[in-house]
């Protein structure tokens, strides 16, 4: 049997990276949930999960019994499998089962084009038994080396909205339906600022290939420093895209119980949950690649420390780059978690108003300014930085003057003291005589 | 440098096929494992729609706010526009400074953006972006 023509060193490395990274991702996603619980616990002055060890009840492994709850994700996963997978009687059964799968599949596909480890100088080797000779050479340590580059990630990430919409619709539950609608509207709205912020980054890079993007950041500085405005818009958009707080109106507990996954149980619920975290991981990887220099660390161009420079192509360098990249991604996600447990949830109309009245005009103006700057050949990092700051300042100055309200409108609410419904008589203070008597100050006056 | 550029032939998409298979396999396997392992108990009340413990009123298949529809429409306009901008964004900065084509590339795309801005202003005046 002859060697098939497409079997190159690049393809082999791609396949290995895909097979490895999807497992690394699934494990990381499980532990991200643990991280989230730990971080929220520390922020709220609790301890968090700290009981489940990794000893699996075996005496031989008893030294793994007290490992700050590291066994929790595994126990949770097992428990999900053993719970009842219930389908309520009034749901659309096919779509109800399909929705979680349609949610997790794109979430696990998006990472493929990320260049985790730069370039590897692959050695020549021959596959034993088949006697196929594989020609070595520099190969990309990425899941897939395709021409569209990171545009693929956007395409796949926007497929995630189908699972949520279908889940909300198929449940035949008002909470789910409203949650699904909200999530859909929010995700598609924030896709536009996401795309526009990415566009202003791509305008400077002039390419969509991940490896080239990292190389340019190594030589000209990380994009988060040269284009901070694009980074801020992008980060806001990925928070909203993944339905993360402060934009988690789709699953606002006090309004919608659980949002689109109210009716789900067992592993089908867990698939939605995993999809959210996988989505965070993918978007965190995209943010790291575009704005945080990928696998690059400051100082890695110095002699002796050049393991992380794009020119080192040994296997050790590839592993080191992969580790640095993944650490950065996890740090970005930890920042998202701190944001979640710090900021209160934004009201839904404000979420949408931020997308359509602030983020989109701002990002559009940013793209225009950056393209003019490129036309004038102002490509130096400080010039781009000045352009970013100028756009942000001018937009802030204009806000409130061109029809974008900078203050909150008071919505009339039934029973509200501050903004009552029209025609409603508002009674301030207690009317019940018993309640009046309970108040020592008032009863003193009565005497 | 030619090695660093992605090939345009379809075989470079084989890993995408692989990752699709693995992701879909994960989803389907999980779905069936929990179906087999989990207990099965059913009941008339258990099958009811969850509405905070109340007896469900009507169905969720109701008319919903038209605003979501408007958002979807406006989204289409913007998203398609952005998709057309990506090829431009990857080629335009590679033009040499002082290239006589550059001003044409820039002004054409600005005209294209202007059509979207007109759509945005129209939608804004019509109150598409108001959510209260």
Please tell me which of A36-40, A378-382, A403-407 the model is most confident about, judged by mean pLDDT: A36-40
Pairing relation of β-strands A132-134 and A125-127? Answer: antiparallel
Give the model's pLDDT for residue A332.
92
Closest-CA distance of chain A to residue B6, Å: 5
Per-residue pLDDT at A216 exceeds 80 = yes
What is the C-alpha separation between B21 and B24, in angstroms, rounded? Answer: 5
Give the model's pLDDT for residue A245.
76
Q: Which of B13, B23, B45, B63 to mutate to test the interface with A (most CBs of A within 10 A)?
A: B23
CA angle A360, A280, B131 (to 5 degrees): 35
Of B61, B68, B64, nearest to A169 (Cα)?
B61
Give the model's pLDDT for residue A234.
92
Phi, psi torsion values for A120, nearest 5 degrees? -115, 130
What is the C-alpha separation between A138 and A133, in angstroms, rounded? Answer: 16
Give the model's pLDDT for residue B3.
43
Q: Which of B66, B89, B101, B116 to mutate to test the interface with A (most CBs of A within 10 A)?
A: B89
What is the C-alpha separation between A260 and A262, in angstroms, rounded? Answer: 6
- Which H helix or E strand runs over B49? none
Asked if A181 lies within 8 A of B51 by C-beta distance, the reply is no
Q: How confident is the model at residue A440 (pLDDT cuts 50, 70, 90)?
A: low
Residue whose entry in the numeric block shows the structure tokens 């349609």: A102
Give the model's pLDDT for residue B5.
47
Give the model's pLDDT for residue A233.
92
Nearest to A192 among B60, B78, B131 (CB): B78
Q: How many CB atoms lie within 10 A of CB A331?
A: 13
Per-residue pLDDT at A393 exceeds 70 = yes
Of A325, A272, A334, nearest to A294 (Cα)?
A325
What is the C-alpha separation between A23 and A30, in angstroms, rounded? Answer: 11
Q: How confident is the model at residue A24 (pLDDT cuts 50, 70, 90)?
A: confident
Of A25, A111, A36, nearest to A288 (Cα)?
A111
> Which residues 24-63 of chain B have a CB within 8 Å of chain A?
24, 26-28, 30-31, 33-35, 37-41, 46-52, 59-61
Digit-coded pLDDT (tens) for B2-54: 444 444 567 778 888 888 898 889 888 888 888 888 788 888 878 888 888 77
Asked if A372 lies within 8 A of B106 by C-beta distance, the reply is yes
Give the model's pLDDT for residue A405.
57
Cβ contacts of B120 on chain A, cutoff 8 Å: 360-361
Per-residue pLDDT at B132 exceeds 80 = no
Percent with pLDDT over 90 in chain A? 5
Average confidence (pLDDT) over A101-130: 82
Closest-CA distance of chain A to residue B15, Å: 6
Q: Give yes or no for a contact between A261 and A167, defined as CB atoms under 8 angstroms apart.
A: yes
Per-residue pLDDT at A427 exceeds 80 = no
Which one has a higher pLDDT value, A175 or A442?
A: A175
Give the model's pLDDT for residue A304.
67
Q: How confident is the model at residue B1 (pLDDT cuts 50, 70, 90)?
A: very low
Q: With a cut of 0.90, is the ipTM above it?
A: no
Please tell me which of A74-78, A102-106, A134-138, A207-211 the model is most confident about, judged by mean pLDDT: A102-106
- Determine which of A87-96, A211-220, A347-356, A428-437 has the lowest per-residue pLDDT on average: A428-437
DSSP state, residue A8: -
Which one has a higher pLDDT value, A63 or A192?
A: A192
Query: Would an 8 Å CB–CB cutoff place B115 in contact with chain A?
Result: no
């Amino acid at each position: 049997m002859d060697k098939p023509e497409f079997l190159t060193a690049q393809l082999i490395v791609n396949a290995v990276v895909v097979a490895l990274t999807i497992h690394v991702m699934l494990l990381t996603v499980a532990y991200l949930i643990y991280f989230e619980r730990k971080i929220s616990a520390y922020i709220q002055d609790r301890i968090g999960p700290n009981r489940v060890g990794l000893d699996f009840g075996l005496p031989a492994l008893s030294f793994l019994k007290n490992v700050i709850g590291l066994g929790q994700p595994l126990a949770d996963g097992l428990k999900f499998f053993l719970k009842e997978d219930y389908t309520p009687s009034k749901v659309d059964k096919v779509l109800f089962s399909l929705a979680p799968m349609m949610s997790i599949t794109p979430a696990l596909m998006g990472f493929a084009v990320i260049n985790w480890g730069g370039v590897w100088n692959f050695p020549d080797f021959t596959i034993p038994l088949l006697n196929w000779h594989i020609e070595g050479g520099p190969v990309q340590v990425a899941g897939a080396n395709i021409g569209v580059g990171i545009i693929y990630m956007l395409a796949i990430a926007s497929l995630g909205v189908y699972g949520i919409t279908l889940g909300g619709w198929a449940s035949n539950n008002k909470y789910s339906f409203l949650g699904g609608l909200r999530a859909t509207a929010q995700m598609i709205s924030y896709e536009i600022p996401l795309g526009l912020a990415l566009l202003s980054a791509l305008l400077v890079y002039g390419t969509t290939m991940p490896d080239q993007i990292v190389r340019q950041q190594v030589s000209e500085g990380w994009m988060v420093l040269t284009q901070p405005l694009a980074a801020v818009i992008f980060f806001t958009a990925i928070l909203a895209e993944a339905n993360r707080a402060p934009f988690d109106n789709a699953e606002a507990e006090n309004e919608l119980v659980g949002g689109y996954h109210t009716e789900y149980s067992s592993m089908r619920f867990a698939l939605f949950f995993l999809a959210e975290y996988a989505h965070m991981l993918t978007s965190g990887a995209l943010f790291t690649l575009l704005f945080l220099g990928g696998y690059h660390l400051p100082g890695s161009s110095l002699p002796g420390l050049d393991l992380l420079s794009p020119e080192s192509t040994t296997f050790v360098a590839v592993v080191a780059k992969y580790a640095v990249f993944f650490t950065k991604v996890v740090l970005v996600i930890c920042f998202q978690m701190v944001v979640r447990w710090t900021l209160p949830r934004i009201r839904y109309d404000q979420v949408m108003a931020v997308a359509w009245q602030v983020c989109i005009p701002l990002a559009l103006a940013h793209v225009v300014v950056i393209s003019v700057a490129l036309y004038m050949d102002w490509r130096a990092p400080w010039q781009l930085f000045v352009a970013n700051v100028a756009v942000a300042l001018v937009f802030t100055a204009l806000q409130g003057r061109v029809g974008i309200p900078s203050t909150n409108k008071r919505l009339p609410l039934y029973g509200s003291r501050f903004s009552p419904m029209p025609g409603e008589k508002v009674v301030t203070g207690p009317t019940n005589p018993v309640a009046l008597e309970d108040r020592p100050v008032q009863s003193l006056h009565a005497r | 440098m030619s090695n660093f550029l992605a090939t345009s032939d379809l075989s470079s998409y084989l890993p995408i096929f692989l990752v699709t298979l693995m992701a879909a396999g994960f989803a389907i396997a999980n779905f069936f494992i929990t179906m087999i392992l989990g207990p099965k108990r059913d009941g008339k009340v258990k099958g009811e729609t969850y509405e905070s413990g109340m007896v469900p009123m009507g169905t969720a298949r109701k008319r919903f706010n038209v605003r979501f529809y408007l958002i979807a429409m406006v989204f289409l306009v913007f998203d398609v526009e952005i998709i057309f901008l990506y090829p431009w964004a990857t080629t335009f900065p590679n033009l040499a400074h002082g290239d006589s084509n550059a001003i044409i590339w820039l002004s054409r795309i600005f005209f294209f953006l202007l059509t979207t801005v007109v759509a945005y202003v129209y939608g804004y005046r019509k109150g598409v972006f108001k959510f209260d």
